[in-house]
Amino acid sequence: MPVVHIGIGSNLGDREKNCLAALRLLFENGIVIAKHSSLYETEPWGEKNQPNFMNMVVEAGTELQPLRLLETLKEIEQKIGRKETYRWGPRVIDLDILFYDDLVLDTPGLRIPHPLLQEREFVLRPLAEIAPDKVHPVLNKTVRELLSEIG
């Protein structure tokens, strides 16, 4: 079963409740969570004029192929109440595929590994908590190394 790492973030409403609802819905959609990080409160990235986020990362197994996994994550976001706003804007929930095994995928609708992962402490810190030795398949560096380079 492929191992995936999924980033979870929320900065609207009950942020912790939203993240925990995402965990429950991932499980209900056949995504088997092996580990999850702690919740981290982080400042917004990209668009600064918005509330702070709660972020976490899960490591999970899934039989879903990458594009179907993305569709499932979008469906979960909608169930929790996400409404489209603007790029890097506030959101009730955000679910991102960070890694899918060691797959490198570059399509118009999906890029794996997540293309900005190495720039985002709010992703790398919780990811390093649960998978510090995971090697980025493009950059050939561990999550721990990537985190040390930015922070």
pTM above 0.85, yes or no: yes
Residue 125 lies in a domain: no
Catalytic (active-site) positions: 82, 91, 94, 96
In terms of phi and psi (left: phi > 0; alpha: psi -120 to 50; beta: otherwise), the region of 101 is: left
Q: What is the pLDDT of residues 56-101, one digit of tens each?
A: 999 999 999 999 999 999 999 999 988 776 566 678 999 999 999 9
Angle between helices 121-130 and 143-150 (to 10 degrees): 140
Which stretches within 1-151 are classed as H helix? 15-28, 66-80, 121-130, 143-150
Residue 74 lies in a domain: yes
For the domain that residue 92 is a member of, what is the CATH number?
3.30.70.560
Residue 49 lies in a domain: yes
Residue 150 lies in a domain: no
Structurally, the chain folds into a number of domains equal to 1
Evaluate whether 8 touches 58 at the Cβ level (below 8 Å): yes
Residue 136 lies in a domain: no
Residue 147 lies in a domain: no
Residue 141 lies in a domain: no
Q: What one-character DSSP code corresponds to residue 57? A: E
Q: In 3D, which of 151, 90, 91 has the Cα closest to residue 126?
A: 151
The amino acid at 125: R
Q: What is the pLDDT of residues 111-135, one digit of tens each?
A: 999 999 999 999 999 999 999 999 9
Residue 58 lies in a domain: yes
Number of H helices and E strands in the chain, helices first, is 4, 7
Mean of all residue pLDDT scores within the chain: 93
- The range of the structural domain enclosing residue 37 comes to 3-116
